A and B are shown apart, each in its own frame.
Chain A
C-alpha cells in the first residue's frame, strides 16, 4: 500500500465539511457509495507510477497541491471564451468549476422522452434510475481518480435516450474553470437504450492561465443496436491538471465512436475503456498535441468479451519542445470473443530532440480465431515529402508545418460533426507554429 500524501489526507479530512453540499446528500445509498469511494481513495491516494497502468505518468504534481471543492461564490465567467468554445447547434450544458450553471446552459426543446438533466436535479427526479446505473460501467477496482470523483462529484449530467430515439442535435457538456486552484469533479451518466442514437461532446476549457484540477468521469451505457458518438475536446490552460475517464459498456450490436482531441493542460491523462458485447463495434480516434513541458497520457482499453466484435483505434501524437506523450493501448480479446476483428495504430511525430513518447500497444488475445493487428510509428517528418513541397516553391518551415498540419488534420477530418470539426481545426491551427500561413492555404 502506498503511503498517502498530505493532500489525500486533507481531502479526506475536509470531506465532512463539504459532504452536505454535494448533490444527492439526502440519499442514503449515494452517501454510502460516496463513503465507500472516499475510504478507497483514502487508502490508495491518487495512482502512483508503481502501478502498471500508470507507469509513465507521475501525478505527484497534483498531489503536491490542494485543490478546493466548489466555492460558495462562483467565479466570473469569461463570456467571450465560452462563446468561442460553444457549439452553436448543440444542446449545451455549462459547468462552471464543476457546478452546473443554468443561466449559461440551453437545452430546451428536447424531443419527447429524452432526458437531459444536471445530475443534481436528476437525483431528485429520477433517483432510482440513477441508482441503478451510477457506477455500472466502471471496473471493479477503480483507481484513485475514479474513487475521488465518486466521493466528490459536484454535478454532471444524466442523459437518457429512450429506445429507438434518434437525437438529431448533439449535446455539449462545456466545462469551464474560472477560479485558481479550483476542482472540476463532474460525473456524467449517458444511457442509450436499445436502438437509440445520439452524439455528445465533452469540452474542457479554462480561463487565463489558471491552475486547477479537472477530475471527471463519464459513464456510457450503450444498449442493443444503439449508437453513441462521444467527443472529447480538451483545451485546458497551460497550467491545468486534467484527468478525464470515459467508461463504456456496449450491448450486442451496439456502436461506440470516440474522438479524443487533446490540446491543452500541463499534466493530462485521458482514459477510454470500452467493453464490447457480441457484434458490437467500437471506433477510437485520438489526436494529442504537446509542447513546452506538457505531459499528455492516453490510456485506452478495449475488452472484446463476446464474438464478432469490431474495434478500430487510431491515435496520433505530435510532440514539440520538451513535451512528453504516452500512449498505452490495451486490447484484450477474451476467450469467448471468437471472430474478433480489431486494429490499433499509434503514430507519433516528434518535432524536437527533447520531445518524448512512450508508446505501448498491448494485445492480449485469449481466443484463437481472431484478426488483430497493431502498429506503432515514432519519427520525424519524411524528408522526401519536405523536399517535394520545397521543390514547388514552399519554404522549408512552411513545408514542415504543412506536413505536421496534414498529419494532424487526417484525424480532424474523421470528425463528421461539422461545427465541432471547424472548432477543432481552428484550435489545432492556433497551436501550430505559423498558424496564419496555414489559414491562408486552407
Chain B
C-alpha cells in the first residue's frame, strides 16, 4: 500500500528526514515512536502533502502511484488521511459542512453520487455516537474552542466518516483522558480491515494496548533506528529511547 524509499526531507534548508525506508501493507498497523523532534510529524506531513517541505531524495509509492507527485487533495481522495498532532481551528466552517464537502469531494473522485442529505446526516450521527461525541459538535465551527482532547476526537470522527485506506494518526492519543483513549481506540479498531492500513505515531504504549501493531519503528534523528514487532514498544516503555538512539548514532 505504501512504500517509502530512502526519503530525505529538508525544511528551510535544514535536513530533517535522512533516508527513511518503510513498507506498509494493506491490513497492517505500524507504530512509529521516537523522541521529540526526531521527525515523526515531518514524515506525516510530507506524506499528506503539506507545502513547505523539500524532498531532496527518495520516492514514495502509494497504491502503485507516485505519492509525492500528487496534490494533497488528490492524496486524500485516494484514501490517505492524516489526523493532525495539532488540529487547526477553522472559525466559520462548521464540522458538518466540512465533513459533507470532504465526503462529497472524495465520492465524486470515485465517480459516486453525492450522498443524499438524510443518509449523510444519519451516517455522521452514527459515527458521532460511536465516538461518544455530543451531536452539537457537528454544528460547531471546526475545532474552534474545542479542548485538546475534543480536537483529537474530532480528527477521529472525520476519519470514521471519510473511511480512508491509509490513516496516519499523529499522536492522536496525546492529550486524551483514559476513557477517551479507549473510545478513540475503539473507533480505530472499528475501521480495521484487511483493506486498510494504519500508521500510529505515538509516544506511549497505552494506545498500543488497545491496538496491537504489526510493526514498531523507532525514528531517531531523522531515520529509522530500529524496527521490530509489538514487543519493541514494550521494551521502549521500560528502557526509554537512549539505547536506540545510540544504535542510530553508531549506524550513522
Picked from B87, B91, B105, B162, the residue with its CB within 8 Å of the CB of A388 is: B87
Determine the residue in chain A with the shortest Cβ distance to B141: A406
Q: Contact between B71 and A393 (Cβ–Cβ < 8 Å)?
A: no
- Chain B interface residue count, CB cutoff 8 Å, equals 33
Q: What B residues does A390 contact at CB under 8 A?
A: 49, 71-73, 76
- Secondary structure dominating the interface of A: helix
B90, chain A: closest CB distance, angstroms: 6
B92 close to chain A: CB less than 8 A: yes
Q: What B residues does A84 contact at CB under 8 A?
A: none
Q: What A residues does B141 contact at CB under 8 A?
A: 406
Determine the residue in chain A with the shortest Cβ distance to B79: A393
A385 to B86, CA, bound (A): 12
A388 to B101, CA, bound (A): 13
Determine the residue in chain B with the shortest Cβ distance to A392: B102
Q: Contact between A392 and B158 (Cβ–Cβ < 8 Å)?
A: yes
Picked from B50, B71, B98, B102, the residue with its CB within 8 Å of the CB of A396 is: B71
Most buried by A among B72, B88, B98, B141: B72
Q: Contact between B90 and A393 (Cβ–Cβ < 8 Å)?
A: no
B61 close to chain A: CB less than 8 A: no
Tally inter-chain residue pairs, CB-CB below 8 A: 84
A52 close to chain B: CB less than 8 A: no
When each residue 97-112 of chain B gets 1 if its CB lies under 8 Å from chain A and 0 otherwise, what string results? Answer: 1101111111001000
Interface residues of A (CB under 8 A from B): 382-385, 387-396, 398-399, 402-403, 405-410, 413, 440-442
Picked from B51, B76, B91, B93, the residue with its CB within 8 Å of the CB of A393 is: B76
Q: Contact between A394 and B105 (Cβ–Cβ < 8 Å)?
A: yes
Q: Contact between A392 and B98 (Cβ–Cβ < 8 Å)?
A: yes
Picked from A387, A394, A395, the residue with its CB within 8 Å of the CB of B50 is: A387
- Secondary structure dominating the interface of B: helix
Q: Contact between A393 and B102 (Cβ–Cβ < 8 Å)?
A: yes
In the complex, besides A389-B98, A389-B101, A398-B101, 20 extra interface pairs with C-beta distance below 8 angstroms are A385-B90, A391-B48, A391-B73, A391-B82, A392-B98, A392-B158, A393-B109, A394-B73, A394-B102, A395-B73, A396-B71, A403-B90, A406-B91, A406-B93, A406-B141, A407-B92, A408-B92, A410-B92, A440-B101, A441-B101
B8 close to chain A: CB less than 8 A: no
Determine the residue in chain B with the shortest Cβ distance to A402: B93
Determine the residue in chain A with the shortest Cβ distance to B94: A406
Determine the residue in chain A with the shortest Cβ distance to B83: A391
Given contacts A387-B51, A440-B104, contact A393 B88 (CB under 8 A): no
Picked from A395, A398, A406, A441, the residue with its CB within 8 Å of the CB of B92 is: A406
Q: Contact between B76 and A391 (Cβ–Cβ < 8 Å)?
A: yes
Shortest beta-carbon contacts, A-B, top 7 = A406-B92, A393-B76, A392-B102, A390-B72, A393-B105, A406-B93, A410-B92
Q: Contact between A388 and B90 (Cβ–Cβ < 8 Å)?
A: yes
Q: What A residues does B158 contact at CB under 8 A?
A: 392
